[in-house]
Amino acid sequence: MFESGKLVFYSVPRDGGKDYYYTGGQGQFMMGNMVVLIDQSTASSSEILTGALQDWDRAVVVGQRSFGKGLMQKPVNLLDGSVLQLTGARYYTPAGRSIQKPYHGHAYEDNLTTRLKSGELTHAQNIHFPDSLKYKTLVGKRTVYGGGGIMPDVFVPIDTLEFSPYFQQLVGSGIISQIAFEYMDQNRATLQKQYPDFQSYEKNFQLPAELMERLAKMGITPKGNEATQARLKTMAELHLKAQIASQLFGSNTYYQRMLNSENGSYLRAIAILKKPKQYEQYLQISQH
């Protein structure tokens, strides 16, 4: 992605000095358009790489503002067996942006909830940056923002239904995985014969109604108006189909081939890659 000797990030230790980190060899994807996907859970080393790609105008970043974890920490073993994470430095992108988000008491841990309530994850106009947090990319001189996390070049709102109690219960409890596993355990040979490859599965597989009925019998039913219930039902069915596909064809199919089919950021990224002129406009390549 980068040529040898390119600055990827630097850290500022507590003593106030700076330690710079450069690429040590030639990258393996030097040419070609690139889109990087981030969301509110993208953190740490993922943010460092994304920040470098954005600062050097090497990729278009799509999604939501990342988490904002930019601390270099060292574990210190204590006598009682516990471990203290000692912060020794902060990470900065090549353009000088701090990755670490500010500390504000409990707000640090409740960051996702706060961002969701403020509308930041659903409407780009609800994201505000003071002029002091504006930076320029190193090639195209585009405006990018600091202040914690990486702000994408192309904002894509999240699907708020993913945070609904119904969906959180489905995903967090492991019920979807359990139902899919039991179904596969009983029908593996038949499914492998009927769907020899992913293409045939994706095109022809119909989710048995009994699987969704099991959720209802457990008392797990979508709430809301008719449209909301229908959407939540579709999301649950997609996750069940994805879990079954992952057991038939490998874990890559879970995200890459199934869930991404309704992922707004993924679909936007594909659309950008299919339009080279639009890609160049985002990076302002034609202007420099």
Please name the residues in contact with 228: beta carbons below 8 A apart, sequence gap of 6 or more: 161, 222
Q: Are residues 73 and 144 in the same domain?
A: yes
* Token pair of 50 as six digits: 């994304």
Which pLDDT score, from 0 to 100, does residue 106 have? 52
In a domain, 261, yes or no: no
In a domain, 226, yes or no: yes
pLDDT(282) > 60:
yes
pLDDT at 107: 59
Task: Indicate the number of domains in the chain.
Answer: 2
Predicted confidence (pLDDT) per residue in 39-73, tens digit: 999 999 999 999 999 999 999 999 999 999 999 98
Q: For 192-204, what is the mean pLDDT?
A: 96
Question: With 0-12 CB in 10 A as exposed, 13-18 as middle and 19+ as buried, what is 26?
Answer: exposed
In this predicted structure, what is the pLDDT of residue 109?
56
Same domain, 53 and 86: yes
Query: Contact at 8 Å (CB) between 110 and 116?
Result: no
Strand stretches in 99-215, DSSP E: 134-136, 143-145, 154-155
* 130 vs 70: CA distance, rounded Å: 20
Buried b (16+ CB within 10 A) or exposed e, 145-177: bbbbbbbbbbbbebbeeeebebbeebeeeebbb
The DSSP-derived string for 11-46 is EEETTS--EEEE--S--S--SS--EEEE-TT--THH
Query: 151 and 171 share a domain?
Result: no
Are 167 and 149 in the same domain? no
The CATH number that applies at residue 61 is 3.90.226
Q: Give bridge partners of residue 11 from the DSSP assignment.
A: 19, 91
Asked if residue 140 belongs to a domain, the reply is yes
Q: Is residue 166 part of a domain?
A: yes
Hey, what are 113's tokens?
A: 């909830």
- Could you tell me if 170 and 119 lie in one domain? no
Domain carrying residue 44: 7-157
Asked if residue 273 belongs to a domain, the reply is no
Q: How confident is the model at residue 103 (pLDDT cuts 50, 70, 90)?
A: confident
In the prediction, which pLDDT does 14 show?
A: 85
Amino acid at 181: F
pLDDT digits 0-9 by tens, 129-182: 888 899 999 999 999 999 889 999 999 999 999 989 999 998 888 999 999 999
The per-residue pLDDT for 125 is 78
Q: Name the average pLDDT for the chain.
A: 91
Cβ atoms of residues 202 and 259 within 8 Å: no
Distance CA 107, CA 110 (A): 5
Q: What is the pLDDT of residue 288?
A: 45
Distance between CA atoms of residues 188 and 42, nearest Å: 35
Which of 110, 138, 157 is at the close of a domain? 157
Segment 239-277, tens digit of pLDDT: 999 999 999 999 888 888 899 999 999 999 999 999 999
Look at residue 265 and tell me if it is in a domain.
no
Q: Are 11 and 146 members of one domain?
A: yes
Beta strands in 118-273 (DSSP E): 134-136, 143-145, 154-155
Please check whether residues 148 and 196 belong to one and the same domain: no
Q: How far apart are the first and last CA of the chain?
A: 20
Residue 55 and residue 183 share a domain: no
Exposure class string for 182-211: b at 16+ Cβ within 10 A, else e: ebbeeeeeebeeebeebeebbeebeeeeeb
